[in-house]
Structure 1
Amino acid sequence: MAAQTPHDSEQAALSLTLAIVASSPGPLLLLDGDLNILAVSQSFGEVFEIEVDGAVGGPLSGLGVGEWDGARLRSLLDATVSGAARIDAYELDLVRPGRPPHQLVVHAQRLVYLDLENLRILMSVTDTTACRADRKLKDDALAENLVLLAEVRHRVANSLQIIASVLLQNARKTTSEETRGHLKDAHNRVMSVAALERQLSESADEAVQLQAYFVSLCDSIAASMIADTRQISLIVTGEGGLVAPRTSVSLGLIVTELVINALKHAFTGDRPGTIVVDCQVRGPNWTLSVTDDGVGVNAQPGQLRAGLGTSIVQALAKQLEAVVVTASAHPGTRITVTHSQIALVDDAEDELSPGGQAAASV
């Protein structure tokens, strides 16, 4: 057997490289330093409807009817040939006359091997047209569902407001003070849910912005229950934050019950005053408080007995895994609902302080 010369070895290596490229299951091109095609995979020809045998030996710019002769692609390939760049996930729209466009992702890199005089560029192409079409269909369907959900919430909010109006009209007509009180309480509970549904319908986010929600809710409560806002004011403070819709429903109902309770018991006679709803959110942790400057809990021991409103607040807090603490506000009363999912550094320091026990939660 005759000895194999270096030239024969180079030819064998080149032949093997061409065979690998040609048999690749993915669209591949092997280019020289002048961007002429040395090899093309059969899959490339099938995907882009190119005659493989006729493409070998010709320039990349001559493929098809010139759709591969883009200035941007050529500039990137020239930079790859010089070693100044490497094409990594270059997005290309391949437009061919009379055919639908293709969305492509191109990768190209200069091959490093012993034959330094002959530059080789390996270029792979991925057709993402079908994937992007599926993604667009999913995005369009999601957007349509969000619009429908917002419309449903808007209609629910309107229906709840109608129900609340009927309850309030019946409250004004009845001669029983006890019945009137129950109807007004029911009216405000319905309005709290209506305010939430309207907030959700106007928001594209899945989470609810508590500050805006509580302002809307308290405006609604004040309009229906406070005859003279110069006598009693209801304000919302705090930085608020974003919480899940289900959490916001419970918090809204808690605020409604606590505010109603304060309006009923804190300001006897013609006593003026202020009710402050404050909410602070720190990641998964949050604290909600309703404070009044009224007569205070000590002046009305019976107020601490478990009524319907108190039972509702306790039940909702239990669902939220939160703790309810009632304390004097000097003057008035402060009721705090605290949820701590993660123990923060500041919280740990507070627990070590003399007043830390009152604000502790699980």
Structure 2
Amino acid sequence: MAAQPPAYSEEAALSLTMAVVASSPGPLLMLDGALNIIAASASFSETFEIDAATAQGRPLSTLGAGEWNAPQLRSLLDAAISGAAKIEAYEMDLRRPGERTRRLVIHAQRLVYLDLENLRLLMAVCDVTDARANEKLKDDVLQQNLVLLQEVRHRVANSLQIIASVLLQNARRTQSDETRGHLRDAHHRVMSIAALERQLSGSGDGQVELHSYFTDLCASIAASMIGDPNEISLTVTGGGGVVDARVSVSLGLIVTELVINALKHAFPEHRRGSITVDCEFRGPNWTLSVTDDGVGLPMDPADVHAGLGTSIVEALARQQQATVEIEGAHPGTRVSITHTQIALVGGDEGAEGEAAAGRPSAESGA
């Protein structure tokens, strides 16, 4: 015949419970239905300088100098003891005379056990004062670095504009048409980076909104290359998107090269026309295009020669894992840079979305 387990008295069970609470490595209290202290852990007594022996049987609100007598805490504990709520992470400031304010996180839960008439509440306290202070210090340092970075970018933009001005002055002074063309091209490339730096100095988070960036960039190109705005217009369309600085550098240089190329070749003999820069985003996929309504592509493909600008565009497109397509716009020419990210289809219905979500988007330069 199997031996019967020994019958434990209520006093023995309560003694065991109190011993468990008292030995808890973290600050812990056991409260009764009236929020009187049944047991306190040694760590609670040490952390908050409370005598566990004299605290037993006292209301929580009378501990110390009354710093635990917080009406909102009392209301939450009453709700928890009634079973109406469970306190998972209530934060409060504990203010004691002569001591620094401490930030506490309170966890409290009603205990459900056989003795339903005697209500018990287990309350754990976590002191996060130092953790919060470290977080604030880190945030303050991050903000200071952000301000410094914005200032550096602002100064870089100013320096680039000075360099661009020197290049333009030299282009005007030189007698060589070839040298003048090279200096003007260098000027526009420098100005595209300067426009980007100004965007970054204003964004504050290293993200660039492409529509406004392209608008500023094209305005700079138009001011230096288009003598009569009524003769050739340069506009920016499309919803654009937000990308990080690394991607925007490549896209800005692509736009610069394509617009300069169109201005050089699409409108000979003071022909009137227009150039449109368009950028559309569809999730992680995007298409950047520059379209003109000029003379169009040569009829004979042998007459098409790839210059420095074309080589730069192709290299930048490869860097972004994008493709370059040149086609007739009837009239004119359209050059499209397309980045396509294809999600892998897995074995279940949600695999495609998960595959897409797991890959870097255009913002990361994929």
Secondary structure of the equivalent of 2:336?
strand
Tell me, what secondary structure is at the counterpart of 2:324?
strand
Letter in 2 for 1:48: F
Contact 1:328 1:334 in 2 (8 A): yes
| Equivalent pair of 2:87/2:108 in contact (CA under 8 Å) | yes
Gaps of 5+ in 2: 346-365
1:283 aligns with 2:278: no
Gaps of at least 5 residues in structure 1 are 346-361
Q: 1:184 to 1:297 in 2, by over 3 A?
A: same
> How many residues matched?
343
CA-CA distance at 1:343 after TM superposition: 5.5
Q: 1:300: how far off?
A: 8.2
Q: C-alpha deviations, 1:120-144, integer Å up to 9, x for none?
A: 1111111111111111111111111
Aligned partner of 1:18 in structure 2 is 18
CA contact (8 A) 1:327 1:335 kept: yes
Q: 1:205 aligned to 2:210?
A: no
Residue 178 of structure 1 and its aligned partner are, at CA, apart by: 1.3
Higher mean C-alpha deviation, range 46-55 or range 17-26:
46-55
Does the 8 Å CA contact 1:35/1:59 hold for their aligned counterparts?
Answer: yes
2: CA distance between counterparts of 1:344 and 1:153? Answer: 39
Specify the alignment match of 1:171 in structure 2.
171
Q: Which amino acid aligns with 1:242?
A: V
| 1:232-243 superposed matches below 5 A | 232-243=232-243
Partner of 2:264: 264
Task: Please report the TM-score for the alignment, with normalisation by the length of structure 2.
Answer: 0.90
Aligned 1:27-106 pairs, distance under 5 A: 27-106=27-106
**CA RMSD after TM alignment:** 2.0
Which residue matches 2:161? 161
CA contact (8 A) 1:103 1:128 kept: yes
Whether the 8 Å CA contact 2:193–2:252 is kept in 1: the answer is: yes
CA deviation vs aligned residue, 1:124-169 (integer Å, no higher than 9, x gap): 1111111111111111111111111111111111100000000011
Measured in 2, the distance between the counterparts of 1:17 and 1:144 equals 51
Distance, in Å, in 1 between the alignment partners of 2:172 and 2:230 is 23
Tell me which amino acid in the other structure corresponds to 2:176: S
Query: Which residues in structure 2 correspond to 1:184-203 (within 5 Å)?
Result: 184-203=184-203
Following the alignment from structure 1 to structure 2, what is the Cα–Cα distance between the partners of residues 158 and 344? 45
Aligned counterparts of 1:300 and 1:269: Cα–Cα separation in 2: 21
Please, what TM-score do these two structures have when normalized by structure 1?
0.91
Instruction: Among all aligned residue pairs of Structure 1 and Structure 2, give the percentage whose two residues are the same amino acid.
Output: 69
Equivalent pair of 1:242/1:281 in contact (CA under 8 Å): no
> Residues 5 and 290 of structure 1: is their aligned pair in 2 closer, same or farther, counting only changes over 3 Å?
closer
SS in structure 1 at match of 2:289: strand
Question: Take 1:67 and 1:54, find their aligned partners in 2: how far apart are those partners?
Answer: 17
For residue 286 of structure 2, what is the amino acid of its counterpart? W
The equivalent residue for 1:181 is 181
What SS does the aligned partner of 2:191 have? helix
C-alpha distance 4-306 of structure 1, shift in aligned 2 (>3 A): closer
